[in-house]
Amino acid sequence: MGLLRLLCLLPHRAALAVGRGIGGLAHRLGGSRRAVVRRNLELCFPNLTPDERNALALEHFQALGMMLIEMGLGRWASDKHLASITTLDGLDYLLDASKKGQGVILLGAHFTTLEISGRVLASNSPPFDAVYRKNRSAFVTELQRSGRERSASDTIEKREIKKMVRSLRAGRTVWYAPDQSYSQKGAEVIPFFGVPAMHTTATSSLARLGNAVVIPFFPRRLKNGHYEIVFLPPLEDFPSADAAADTASYVEVLEAHIRTCPEQYFWIHRKF
């Protein structure tokens, strides 16, 4: 942790360059994780040549290395510094919903810029609760939870459904990234880039039980090392009577954003 904090003192683009180098090394040593990334890319981008997919896999590992730096920035960088390297597009969708006193599900996904975007969100939005998942590693779990606690008013473990619903009914915002499904329970098979994949349908239930509006929210790292955070309009007719259709509408907007920065999605997760 001490070394990471020192790296974060470097000029921003220099720090990201170090992260990119770490990611490149991880790619060379990647083993089974590199195989997972390549398989995901093979299924989702069949129109790319093998060389193009291999190049995208390397860019993904480089993005993972930069994510390490960005986790540190999310913990220790000043609000002023983060504001200087970030733009927000569509924030009024969130602010307008919050002013009405209605609960908001801020619907995200697992991008490599996830943690730094939460810190930026904390400086520009009403208070929110952040959902996290326990990892098999207690160290990783605590790193993730404490990092999100730096941004969020409260943290909620993803199985604490009742706590999420209470927050939403109280008119709070809950930041939730439901794109990783680890169980068939409460999930449906929904195409992801045209390939059948398990997706949790919990967002539909949360929106219904919490009487919440659902606003997709995605970050993106730009070529110059700055960040753009995009808030989309609230999903229409959500929730409906069809939880699978609701989930498919989320997957559709997620896919569209992934295509704008494919190397930044979390392909290291075993999606299929």
Instruction: Please report which confidence band the pLDDT of residue 105 belongs to, taking 50, 70 and 90 as the band edges.
Output: very high
Q: What percent of the chain has pLDDT over 90?
A: 72
Q: Is the pLDDT of residue 182 over 70?
A: no
pLDDT at position 19 is 96
pLDDT at position 2 is 78
pLDDT at position 132 is 80
pLDDT in tens, 241-265: 999 999 999 999 999 999 999 999 9
pLDDT in tens, 19-53: 999 999 999 998 899 999 999 999 999 999 999 99
Instruction: Please report which confidence band the pLDDT of residue 136 belongs to, taking 50, 70 and 90 as the band edges.
Output: low
Instruction: Please report which confidence band the pLDDT of residue 142 belongs to, taking 50, 70 and 90 as the band edges.
Output: low
pLDDT at position 147 is 60
Spatial contact of 178 and 108, defined as CB atoms under 8 Å apart: no
pLDDT at position 26 is 95
Q: Is the pLDDT of residue 140 over 60?
A: no
Residue 189: count other Cβ atoms within 10 Å of its Cβ: 12
Tell me the angle at which helices 12-28 and 50-76 cross, rounded to the nearest 10 degrees. Answer: 130
Mean pLDDT of 188-215: 96
Averaged pLDDT of the chain: 91
3-state secondary structure the chain: CHHHHHHCCCCHHHHHHHHHHHHHHHHHCCCHHHHHHHHHHHHHCCCCCHHHHHHHHHHHHHHHHHHHHHHHHHHHCCHHHHHHCEEEECHHHHHHHHHCCCCEEEECCCECCHHHHHHHHHHHCCCEEEEECCCCCHHHHHHHHHHHHCCCCEEEECCCHHHHHHHHHCCCEEEECCCCCCCCCCEEEEEECCEEEEEECHHHHHHHHHCCEEEEEEEEECCCCCEEEEECCCCCCCCCCCHHHHHHHHHHHHHHHHHHCHHHECCCCCCC
> Radius of gyration of the chain from Cα atoms?
18
